[in-house]
Amino acid sequence: MAVYMRRSFSHVKCIRLCACLKVKNILTSDMYFSPDATVGRESESGIHPFPRQLKFPLRPGEPWHDRYSFVMFPQSSSKTPYDTIRQITPRPTSSMTQKPAQKPAMRPARQAADHEDFASGMDNTLQRVAGRNVDVSRATASMADISALTNIQKMPSKIRITADLPEINYADDDFQTAEAPYGTGQFDHYSIVADKNKKDVHIFAQPGEEVIVHRNSTSEAKMKANKSVTLPAKRSTSKTLQPDPIMKLQRVIGFGGVGKGQACWTTDGKSVVYPSHTLIVSINVDTKRQRFFAGHTEKVSAVCLNASSSLLASGQTGAQSLVRVWGYKEGNCLAIVKTHDHGLCMLEFSVCGRSLCGIGKDAKGQNMIVMWNLAEVERGMLTVTAKAHTDVDVIAAALDPVDSARLVTCGHDNVQLWRVRDGSLRCCSVSLRGGQKRAGISDVCYKTTKETAAGVTIYVSCLSGEVVRIDPDLAAVTSVQSLRSDPSLVESRRPSSCISITAMAASASLFATTSTDGFLRFWMPDFSRVLIEVEHEEPLLQVVFTQDGHRALVSTAVGSLAIVDVATDSYRTLLRAHTDEVLDMAVSEDLLGTVSADGTIRIWSLETSQQLYDFSISGEVPCNISFRSSSSEFACGFLSGRVTVFSVPQAKALTELKQLRGQITGLAYCAGHEGTLCYCDQFGTITLYRTSGTGYRLIRGLPNAVYRHLELAPNALVVSRNGSHIACVGPSEYVVTVMDTAALNEVLRIDVSSVKLPSGAPYPALDTAQQVAFLTSASSHELLVATSGSRLLRFDAWSGKLLAQLQPVHTGACTAVIASVDGRYVLTAGDNCIKVWDSSLRTNVIPQMFIGHSSRINSLCFTADGASLVSAGDSVFYWSFVRSREQKSLDSNDVYRKPELQSNAASLSVHHLIDDIPCRDISTSLNTRTAELITRQGNQRPVTPQNFRQAFEQKEEKEEGKQFSVPKAKKHFKKAMKQSSLAQRRYTALAGQAGLKLNSVIGFNGNSRNNVVWHPETGLFIYTSGCVAIVEDLKDGTQRHLMGHVEEISTMALQHDCQVLVSASGSSGAAACSQMCIWDMQSLACRTVLSQHRTDVQSLDFCLDDRFLLSVGNYQDPKIIIWSTYDWTVTMTTHASYPVHTALWNPFRSCEFMTVGEQGRMTFWLLEENHSNRTLAQLSMHEPDVPDELLYNKLGNVVHFTSACYISDKHLCLGTSSGRLALWDTTTNICIMHWIADESEIGVITGRSERLVTGSQNRLCLWDAAGLTQLSDSSQTLPKVAVSGDMELEGYVTTANFDSALVMGIVGTDTGTLWYINWSENVHIRLVSSHRDKVSITIYSEIF
């Protein structure tokens, strides 16, 4: 460390990206690189050519700076501050032959004299393509002469982000913010903050974007970056499960402490803090009241409090060894830090409270000691003061109570003294007894004393019974003392009298030691004699004194904590707990029984959670338990198949029942039938017993009745509340059987695999039953079944009729299901959490979710009065269950809907939205084409993404079978009338043996919609004609053909990387379903054919990252399907409630899309992925209100929404059948403004930033929409909207593709014509022409 600590380094060690970015690689270097540098001239200029990692692909002859941006940060010039961010542009090269006509407005950057090659400040704009005269009358011959289409390398380059980055530098203040020049480019909204103290530069994008805190509907707390936000107040279609929250954690029976550092006292000595797996519990030692700190994701391995008990630190085990610092009084987490790789075992505050020490493992498995500075913990920051790695083992450590910079660690054979100096940890080894290392060191502690210069002495305990005294200043052993069990034998050397010390603690006047023989001993300061000796039956692990030294806390190896009052010589047990997983539990009137994998059966008091009895059988592990109704007896099943009945008052076993072959998977007493007991084993045998006098009489044994699977344990058998029926999964995994408890006669059998979805479609996978429960209310007797497909089914227990179903319930397996005592609620356990549902299983009632368990929840059980719930897994949780006094009746007309998207919150609340959303009306004069804005005032309520996910659910009651009339909008695809059919007998020639080969196709199908694909950067040009997709080269007119459809192609879509094309056609006699062909654009081969839509496909679109494909059917079957492009499987499917005309993904936000259609309907959709199981994705929707001015035309008829386009990340432009354009704010789903754009239906909208292109009947318009992207629902002044270009075309515009600058494009009309459009030259050229109807005859000649 002395070698490296004073060196200067030029490489960056860490880069923190404070944004959602896709980063492929980050490279750092101390050399200057330039794309224009040449090999061999590095020594002359000091500039090096790009290494191999930076040689990005370029097209032949394309300048490097036309495609990529180059930013140098920081600069090394002494004349420029190091934190200046500026653009690096080389000198002109030979490839740039002329200067641009006009420079864009750009903020000047400082120039560095010694690096002028990097700051020449050249403009990025490419030269303008000169205009070319084209003879329009010769449309066919002019196709190859359109240089703007074929010369792809001359297209305008993309906007470079470096053109908009401002300069920043440090001033006298710690922070300085620089704002970007407004209106300089597409990156208009960002700010940069420089922190002088931390040498960091932070770039924040869009500081004015809304940040909304989500509250309950009654909350009044709002937050926004720049302005206040009004929370919505009107009730949405979703209902909140009431009361909210319906459960509250009251007590925890569990102690997760293993080893040292697992429990600590508060300063006042009134409370003890200890971990219970992932929870941290603070318990008052007098009242036994508990407080909880939840947030860890793995088992907590260390807890500690500072000297004032204002801060609590905790660390967890596992690969994510997170350290959390809490405000102890408030119970909130102040900071989170991850420094250790794994194995965090110790945390301790310094005596001054300004430092925190932690010991764990690094990535190489070495012990790592870290000191954190707590000066900024209130701001959520923990900085590393010092860090050291060591190969010696560390089993215990202690911080100096006088000097906060000193600490000591010990291993099995070593003692190390550490000191923080100059930002590093330095160590010194202590030689034990002249260099002879003493084996078996167990603990180390400090004790204040006046005998040494440092004011403290170090004491080290050994398993051999010796206590070693060390002077920290001399780093030497001053004395060694051997402790004996009897003071009269201090001088004796008999090994039998030695005490094997496991832990040690020191107070001002006492020493305390624990040993392997179970004794806790309190010694005089000189270890001359024992003052108090407490014997335990189990080994002791830890002892901790209070700050005044009057009481001591001791932990045992069997999961108990006890308190010893030294002053009064009193002893009491604070808590007991299982040391392994709780496998099952049962509740009687006032008792709770639990069985655990640690081999014990324990009986607890429900009122106080104190352990009353402890049972165990040598060599047996209990796995099931059930109380008899009288609470005087309980039965227990074991892994060996043994079943034993115990008596609680007598605390002994009463009788042994018939032992089965395998593990007991279900066991239950039947309420109402006193003494009736049923149990089953893993091989499917059910046994029925009934009491006869003082014994148990076998009634019936039924083999192969229960499905053979251990996952059903411990709930393989469930009994109805009146005890008359029993239910189980069996004899197969697809069947649930209900039997009577009189003689196990079968009453009902339900096949779960035959249950269909609410839409009537079969379930996509074969479903199996996992858990069963009875739901009994005053008016019904029902059965709940949880399946492997994450469904929860509700059946009538008498007829077997399916009453309701819900999906998904949990992402993983459902481990327990139970109904509340009053039958109003259903509780499920899975994914280490508990969810509470309304018993109706209607998805418009949002469930509540409760976390706390760190592993599988094995059992749920209500108390007899239904006021409390007990859950068992890693620990036993005791919840108070609050039942609403009024049960609101649900509308019987409510339909099944898809489940609400879940989060990992403790409870889920609904956020309401408002129907009367205001908008802005725009009336326009068709003569001037200038919009005059008319605003309408009203209350505005934002719709946040969380509202979007939680408040709206999809309606699917009758959408699949609903019939719609033929849409009146021209936008909707209507299949051309067929006047011929395919031959009944068809033959396909082998490869290379075909006698005919298609050479070219003349014509374009104007009947289809969005059936033209043109990629400006690659020049890829595809259009359709009938059932053929034509790939045409615009330079020479050669064609290649994609043939695979048997019906007319209705629409197409191309991935953003141009690797995959999807074309869709409808169904016919030859194709029962529609065909969606997936084409590989490299080989032009069909990868696969998808068939899910029953009729024609109306719309196709790929999402931003090409992971999903969206397809929508026509008016006959408006099914919405989301496909995964990874394996082309269905991720999500639903039905729209109206015929959809246009569907498109949000190009700025992943997993969001929208649909528009008939009767002025529009819907915003959100897809929530499940990364652990892609088949369990969730879909939510929001259908906003449409203002009347936009919804109705002049005659009072409802208009149709025909087209849409996202023009920015916050704005959506919408076109209607009446010729209006509307601007919507996608962050609030509010219509901001609308204006009359045309007299006919708008079929196509495409836009980028401040330009907009619309296509309608015989007309194509270019709109100057400057200022629209800066408009919000609160803007007081609205921009002018005017037409800057207008072209007359033949027919209704059905498709349009433009470049990123909206200068050039290709447009198709329903007359079968494709046009080349150039707005800069105001020309339109006919590329392809075709007949609109059937071609009757053709004539061929040598000339034409």
List Cβ neighbours of 1034 (8 Å cut-off, separation of 6 or more). Answer: 143, 144, 146, 149, 150, 1019, 1021
Q: State the pLDDT at residue 53.
A: 67
Q: Is 152 helix (H, G, I), strand (E, B) or coil?
A: helix
The Cα–Cα gap between 589 and 632 comes to 11
Concatenate the DSSP letters of all residues of 769-785 into one string: EEEEEEEE-SS-EEEEE
Structure tokens belonging to residue 206: 């869009």
- Omega before 899 cis (within 30°)? no
* Structure-model confidence comparison of residues 70 and 857, the more confident one: 857
Please, what is the end-to-end C-alpha distance for the chain in angstroms?
87
Q: State the pLDDT at residue 181.
A: 36
DSSP, res 1196: S
Question: What is the band of 1292 on the pLDDT scale with cuts at 50, 70, 90?
Answer: very high
Contacts 24+ apart (CB under 8 A), 1247-1251: 1247/1205, 1247/1207, 1247/1213, 1247/1302, 1248/1207, 1248/1300, 1248/1301, 1248/1302, 1249/186, 1249/1207, 1249/1208, 1251/1301, 1251/1302
- The C-alpha angle with vertex 1155 and arms to 1306 and 1074, in degrees rounded to 5, equals 75
* Structure-model confidence comparison of residues 444 and 189, the more confident one: 444
Q: DSSP E strands: which ranges in 255-391? A: 264-265, 271-276, 279-284, 290-293, 300-305, 311-316, 323-327, 332-337, 342-349, 355-361, 367-373, 383-390
Q: State the pLDDT at residue 13.
A: 63
Q: Provide mean pLDDT across the span 569-588.
A: 90
For the chain, percent of residues with pLDDT exceeding 70:
73
Measuring CA to CA, which residue among 645, 653, 800 is closest to residue 737? 800
Q: Provide mean pLDDT across the span 965-972.
A: 88
Run of H or E residues at 1261:
strand 1251-1264
Measuring CA to CA, which residue among 743, 669, 666 is closest to residue 699? 743
Instruction: Label the pairing between strands 735-740 and 725-729.
Output: antiparallel
Q: In the sheet where 676-681 sits, what is the strand order?
A: 664-669, 676-681, 686-692, 695-702
Q: Provide mean pLDDT across the span 718-745.
A: 90
Measuring CA to CA, which residue among 167, 141, 9, 1 is closest to residue 87? 167
- The strand pairing partners of 527, in sequence order, are none
The Cα–Cα gap between 1193 and 1200 comes to 10
Tell me what the pLDDT averaged over the chain comes to. 76
Question: What is the band of 693 on the pLDDT scale with cuts at 50, 70, 90?
Answer: low
Q: State the pLDDT at residue 834.
A: 93
Instruction: Label the pairing between strands 1251-1264 and 1244-1248.
Output: antiparallel
Q: Is 1073 helix (H, G, I), strand (E, B) or coil?
A: coil
* Structure-model confidence comparison of residues 40 and 828, the more confident one: 828
Structure tokens belonging to residue 23: 């980063």
Most confidently modeled range among 7-21, 149-163, 412-426, 670-684: 412-426
Q: Provide mean pLDDT across the span 678-686.
A: 91
pLDDT, tens digit (0-9, with 9 covering 90-100), for 1079-1121: 999 889 999 999 888 889 999 999 988 889 999 999 888 999 9
Structure tokens belonging to residue 353: 């409270």
- Residue 919 near residue 1231, CB atoms below 8 Å: yes
pLDDT, tens digit (0-9, with 9 covering 90-100), for 18-73: 666 667 677 777 677 777 776 655 545 567 777 766 777 887 778 877 777 766 65
Neighbours of 244 (CB within 10 A): 17
Q: Provide mean pLDDT across the span 95-104.
A: 39
pLDDT, tens digit (0-9, with 9 covering 90-100), for 345-358: 889 999 888 899 99
Q: Provide mean pLDDT across the span 870-876.
A: 92
Q: State the pLDDT at residue 257.
A: 55
The Cα–Cα gap between 456 and 479 comes to 15
Q: State the pLDDT at residue 999.
A: 86
Question: What is the band of 728 on the pLDDT scale with cuts at 50, 70, 90?
Answer: very high
DSSP, res 949: H
Could you tell me the CA-to-CA distances from 114 to 45, 80, 165, 428 in Å, in that order? 10, 10, 22, 49
Measuring CA to CA, which residue among 488, 486, 483, 487 is closest to residue 502? 483
* Structure-model confidence comparison of residues 39 and 193, the more confident one: 39
Q: Provide mean pLDDT across the span 859-878.
A: 91
Measuring CA to CA, which residue among 883, 884, 829 is closest to residue 855? 829
Run of H or E residues at 1113:
strand 1108-1113
- The strand pairing partners of 769, in sequence order, are 787
pLDDT, tens digit (0-9, with 9 covering 90-100), for 1113-1168: 998 889 999 998 888 888 888 989 899 999 999 998 888 999 999 999 999 999 88
pLDDT, tens digit (0-9, with 9 covering 90-100), for 1206-1255: 988 888 999 999 999 999 988 888 898 888 999 899 999 998 767 899 99
Concatenate the DSSP letters of all residues of 94-139 into one string: TT--S--SSPPP----PPPGGGGGGB-----PPPPPPP----TT-T
pLDDT, tens digit (0-9, with 9 covering 90-100), for 358-386: 999 988 888 999 999 998 898 888 899 99
Please determine, for residue 856, whether its predicted confidence score (pLDDT) is greater than 50: yes
Most confidently modeled range among 45-54, 205-214, 605-614: 605-614
The Cα–Cα gap between 353 and 370 comes to 15
Q: State the pLDDT at residue 1273.
A: 64
Structure tokens belonging to residue 36: 């224009």
pLDDT, tens digit (0-9, with 9 covering 90-100), for 381-414: 889 999 999 988 888 999 998 888 899 999 888 8
Run of H or E residues at 205:
strand 200-205
Q: Is 1159 helix (H, G, I), strand (E, B) or coil?
A: helix
Q: State the pLDDT at residue 295.
A: 87
Neighbours of 254 (CB within 10 A): 26
The Cα–Cα gap between 896 and 843 comes to 6
Question: What is the band of 525 on the pLDDT scale with cuts at 50, 70, 90?
Answer: confident
